[in-house]
Chains A and B, each alone.
Chain A
Amino acid sequence: MLKSFLLRRLQHTLLLLTLVSMGSFLLLELAPGDFLTETTLNPRISPQTLASLRDRFGLTKSLPERYFYWVRSAAQGEFGISFAYDMPVRALIWPRMLSTLLLTATSLGLAWMIALPLGVWAAARQGSWPDRLLVLSTSGFLSIPELVFACGILIIAAKTQWLRMGGLPLAVCVLTPVSLPLLLRHIRAGVLTASGATYVRAARAHGVSEMRLWFRHVLPAASHPLISLFGLSVAGLLSSSLLVEVVVGWPGLGPLFLEAVGARDFYVVTGVVSLSAIFLAAGTLLADMLLYFCDPRIRMN
């Protein structure tokens, strides 16, 4: 039962990866120019050198050929080579990915740790002034664009010298408040819906204590949408911070990706995109697995 489910998910993931990598190849092919276009403008580089470079990078080959080269290389764990850095993509991406993960996992964990108790607390006091204040401030935060917020924090950090530029605390300070309001809203709404269920009222009518009511009935019921949300945030671990990294100068995948897209560094772009797709698949799989263990209705059907 679980095995066939996992097997099916693995097939889906492979299909997704194939489609994403193909799409990424195709889109880059459609964009004008290639990695060496700018070099062509340099009069000091002879056409012979250019041709030999083209040949070395495999740019003279057809698109399907290049794609199959990439697939073979990916199967060996190299994911092609970077033209700009002249090294295997994996070796280039790996440390960058770790540093992105350090940033996103820290801020995500922090956001959940703040949002969960605060959201539940607000829902339990629905309509009171702290609750209203919270709802109001989350809408305020949601309406500020991510970049504007990041710049604001940067300015404050630069003026007060509290946080070092390019350091982890600064980046976390930007990224956590960006994801916090949405989480908070979802958690509050989820708990509110759950606490309005008939079986919660029934448990109350049976004389079940408030403590038990919350921990046995309301919170497990509220966890349902929150697990899906958690899966989505895991899926976004690589991609959610790209812009913020560029702004605050965090040496993660963001700056590398931006640079690679600008320079048409083919395999690097495809590598990063495929990696995000893997995270997406892993995040949804994680959510499904958690739901599977939490909800007997899914487990038995």
Chain B
Amino acid sequence: MLCVQKLRISYSDGKGNRTAVVRGIDLHIAAGEIVGILGESGSGKSTLALSILRLLPVSAAVEGSIRFQDENLMTLPAEALRRLRGDQIAFIFQDAGAALNPVIPVGRQVEEVIRAHRSWSHDRVREQAKKSLEQVGVDFSIGEAYPHQLSGGQLQRVQIAQALSCEPALIIADEPASGLDAPAQAGILEMIVRRTKAALLVITHQPSSLRVLSIGAAMLRGLPTRVLVMYAGQVVETGALDQLETSALHPYTQALLSCSKPCGRPGQRQKLPAIEGQPASFSRLSRGCAFEPRCSRRLPVCAEREPQSSHHAGEEIRCFLV
């Protein structure tokens, strides 16, 4: 359904220097599938998500191809793109408080999304807005409230109601509910999986939120959750979440996944399986593997050239170790 190929995105700093933050990414999502993109901040994952709907600022140069249901999103005329946004592909932002207009009642903002895509009567739009709000467990009377009167969890629900209101085929969620505490976050994610049949692209730095999604997906859709692990603008490993949890091959994936599991008993003072060093900075990449400076199992070849991605037991991996 969504097919991203050889995507490269670079920002110019206004002085003629270009920094590539997404460096050659392929991404395929089938209808109803749940795909997670896992990576640290600064790995280019949000840029990737925004580029799909052409929401990046003009200073970003995007190369490659992005196709959605036989339409080329890179060259789609502005009006056709507008009709697609929110209707076919919906977007959920990280901070719901910032993504809702502070001076418009939230119910009106849900209606606005519907009105942008359906030429319905006033009453029918209201009816649909009511339905989508109730679907996410928000009473319609709350629609009269302004964002500052609602809690973080309620705001997040309203934002999801906006995304679900036109029954999109794909929902892109950038760190959904990351401002909430762990149980509330899990509740929100579970609700998204439960309330829609749309394909989901979830961007996150927490493996735990993918785990929640994966359980829901297996239960309700009978599909495994696929994960793309991003590091320094590249996908270093892909595979089903369950498979990665037991047998990840890339040292970065291994560290990332083991960090998020409860390990060691309280009071033991057992060290965590952390990776030393700083996350790669895009302006200072060497010609070798981007992860090489922090890798505990590096080979001489790692510093010399970039590993290409290879297939290995159903996973795709970019590492010389396999």
Contacts and interface: CB of A to CB of B under 8 A. Distances in A.
| A/B: CB atoms within 8 Å of each other | yes
B28 interface: no
B99 A199 contact: yes
Nearest to A296: B146
A72 interface: no
Contacts of A197: 98
A217 B146 CA distance: 14
B117 A207 contact: yes
A226 to B, nearest CB: 14
A171 interface: no
A206 B116 contact: yes
Nearest to A202: B99
Interface string B92-135: 01010011111110000000110011000000000000000000
Contact of A207 (B84, B146, B149): B84
A65 interface: no
Interface of B: 53, 55, 58, 78, 82-87, 90-91, 93, 95, 98-104, 112-113, 116-117, 146, 148-149, 159, 162
Contacts of A216: 101, 104, 112
A13 B307 CA distance: 73
A55 interface: no
Given A297-B148, A300-B149, 5 more contacts: A205-B90, A207-B85, A207-B113, A209-B116, A216-B101
Nearest to A200: B101
Which residue, of B95, B100, B116, has the highest number of chain A Cβ atoms within 10 A? B116
A221 interface: yes
A203 interface: yes
Interface in A195-238: 197-199, 201-210, 212, 216-217, 220-221
B112 A209 contact: no
Contacts of B116: 206-209, 212
A295 interface: yes
A67 B221 CA distance: 85
8 contacts: A199-B100, A201-B55, A201-B99, A202-B99, A204-B55, A207-B87, A208-B116, A216-B104
Sorted nearest first, the 6 A-B pairs with minimum C-beta distance are A207-B86, A206-B86, A198-B98, A207-B85, A202-B99, A205-B91
Interface in A171-211: 197-199, 201-210
Interface string A271-301: 0000000000000000000000011110010
Which residue, of A207, A212, A216, has the highest number of chain B Cβ atoms within 10 A? A207
A199 B113 contact: no
A222 B79 CA distance: 25
B103 A198 contact: no
Given A199-B98, A207-B87, A207-B113, A296 B93 contact: no
Contact of B91 (A202, A208, A296): A202
A193 to B, nearest CB: 13
A207 B79 CA distance: 9
Contacts of A210: 78, 82
